[in-house]
């Protein structure tokens, strides 16, 4: 397995965050990968994504949002989070100028990435991957968090569990449909927001993760062919 290299990413003149650069030999693309709201880039779920993508020939640059770097539990404001997204994309482009770039992340990280893209294009980014897009808070169904997606003109992949309490299927599917050909939805049967499946299904989490990663790699290859 390709080892992850610790790096530092500058955000402006007076702020920096930690990152992890993981590039397998002969990588064919790079995903700039943001973490979810409750855990940082070293969480086992993030590590599984990065390791799985590396095994499929795709580099990743993981990074911390500033609040995680400070040891806080309160997520950054969108403006600060967007700045971190842009800095990470720029760092990935600097480290691998010949690799096609994609961006996205787990839950909150994916949403901050898409918000940043909707406000001003992320240079060089060809597509956005959402590993469990958080359409609404648990128990509070709404599609307001998806409004900005209509401003995004590049391909988007939504990898979602059918038991995700932060994206009920009856709300998510119409959102995807409205985005048209730009959006692809990959549903993972019985998986929750963390891509966990109950034992009674007869499936294991590692199998769900493999299915998710295969779908992500295939989608990335399709995007690169279109570009």
* Domains of the chain as residue ranges with CATH: 5-226 (3.40.50.1820)
Looking at residues 19-27, what average pLDDT do you find? 97
Say what the pLDDT of residue 139 is: 86
Bridge partners of 34?
63, 105
Number of Cβ atoms within 10 Å of the Cβ of 224: 14
Could you give the CA distance from residue 87 to residue 181 in angstroms, rounded to a whole number? Answer: 29
pTM, two decimal places: 0.96
pLDDT digit string, tens, across residues 27-52:
999 999 999 998 999 999 999 999 99
Which of the 8 DSSP states describes residue 184? E
Say what the pLDDT of residue 107 is: 97
Contact 147, 117 (CB under 8 A): no
- Dmax (CA) of the chain: 52
Say what the pLDDT of residue 182 is: 96
Say what the pLDDT of residue 1 is: 76
Contact 16, 5 (CB under 8 A): no
Which alpha helices (H) appear in 57-168, and where do they start and end? 66-69, 78-95, 108-119
At 134, the pLDDT band (50, 70, 90 cuts) reads: very high
Looking at residues 7-11, what average pLDDT do you find? 97
Say what the pLDDT of residue 14 is: 85
Which of the 8 DSSP states describes residue 151? G
Could you give the CA distance from residue 16 to residue 184 in angstroms, rounded to a whole number? Answer: 34
Could you give the CA distance from residue 59 to residue 174 in angstroms, rounded to a whole number? Answer: 32
pLDDT digit string, tens, across residues 192-227:
999 999 999 999 999 999 999 999 999 999 999 987
């Amino acid at each position: 397995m390709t080892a992850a290299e610790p790096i530092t990413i500058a955000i402006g003149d007076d702020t920096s965050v930690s990152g992890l650069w993981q590039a397998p030999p002969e990588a064919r693309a790079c995903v700039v990968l943001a973490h979810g709201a409750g855990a940082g880039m070293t969480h086992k779920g993030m590590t599984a994504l990065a390791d799985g993508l590396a095994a499929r020939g795709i580099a990743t640059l993981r990074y911390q949002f500033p609040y995680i770097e400070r040891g806080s539990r309160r997520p950054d404001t969108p403006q600060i989070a967007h700045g971190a997204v842009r800095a990470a994309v720029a760092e990935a482009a600097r480290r691998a100028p010949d690799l096609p770039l994609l961006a996205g992340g787990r839950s909150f990280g994916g949403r901050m990435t898409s918000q940043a893209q909707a406000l001003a294009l992320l240079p060089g980014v060809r597509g956005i991957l959402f590993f469990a897009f958080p359409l609404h808070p648990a128990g509070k169904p709404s599609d307001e968090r998806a409004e900005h997606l209509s401003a995004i003109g590049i391909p988007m992949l939504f990898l979602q569990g059918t038991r995700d309490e932060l994206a009920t299927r009856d709300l998510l599917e119409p959102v995807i449909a409205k985005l048209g050909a730009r959006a692809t939805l990959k549903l993972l049967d019985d998986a929750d927001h963390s891509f966990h499946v109950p034992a009674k299904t007869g499936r294991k989490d590692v199998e769900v993760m493999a299915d998710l990663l295969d779908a992500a790699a295939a989608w990335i290859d399709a995007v690169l062919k279109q570009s």
